[in-house]
A and B are shown apart, each in its own frame.
Chain A
Amino acid sequence: AQSVTQPDIHITVSEGASLELRCNYSYGATPYLFWYVQSPGQGLQLLLKYFSGDTLVQGIKGFEAEFKRSQSSFNLRKPSVHWSDAAEYFCAVGPNTNAGKSTFGDGTTLTVKP
């Protein structure tokens, strides 16, 4: 069975500081991996995804993530956080056959200090 762990429930960073949100997954083969963002009062929006090729993927809003098979991780990073990045972030894993459904982590809430 596939599963996702986001170890950090809540992270606080200062505006302009760098950010890394952790995601560990469990899946028997190479999965599809996703990061979504949920701004207050909104639905989830895809930030980026990995399904093959270059293990460093670029997304929207200046985010990137690196797939590390040996560590079963797909951590999200941003070099300089903006106040508008305050939101909840979800990592998700899906089967690479596209025959199934994704499993979401419990989410990490990001607070940005002025």
Chain B
Amino acid sequence: DADVTQTPRNRITKTGKRIMLECSQTKGHDRMYWYRQDPGLGLRLIYYSFDVKDINKGEISDGYSVSRQAQAKFSLSLESAIPNQTALYFCATSDIRGSGEQFFGPGTRLTVL
């Protein structure tokens, strides 16, 4: 079984809809991250969490919110989706005792019409 899972894997929604992307991990890592990937722009950090009570904004947090429900779960919400939020979204984890290596989920492809 995959260590970092994301649901859904694909989602098509309409402008103005609220949508939640979920991430679960079985690696026992404290740190979790949400990124979006757009062609030619690499990975941009949306939010990150170093433990359940620690949530931090990344470089592109506007229009997004997160919830760290437990050590193993980190959800990303788009309160009112807009077309320029169409992208590939990745969840990742890392171990505070490690060297910063991140472990990625398979990604969620989100299309906002």
A interface residues with partner B (beta carbon < 8 Å): 9, 32, 34, 36, 42-46, 49, 51, 90, 92, 94-95, 98, 101-102, 104-107
Contacts and interface: CB of A to CB of B under 8 A. Distances in A.
A101 B42 contact: no
B17 to A, nearest CB: 25
A9 B40 contact: yes
A42 B106 contact: yes
B41 A34 contact: no
5 contacts: A32-B100, A43-B104, A90-B42, A98-B98, A106-B40
Given A9-B40, A44-B102, A49-B101, 14 more contacts: A32-B99, A34-B102, A36-B102, A42-B106, A43-B90, A43-B107, A44-B90, A46-B101, A49-B99, A90-B42, A98-B99, A101-B33, A101-B48, A106-B41
Nearest to A46: B101
Contacts of A102: 100, 102
Interface of B: 4, 33, 35, 40-43, 45, 48, 58, 90, 92, 96, 98-107
Contacts of B103: 46
Nearest to B90: A43
Contacts of B90: 43-44
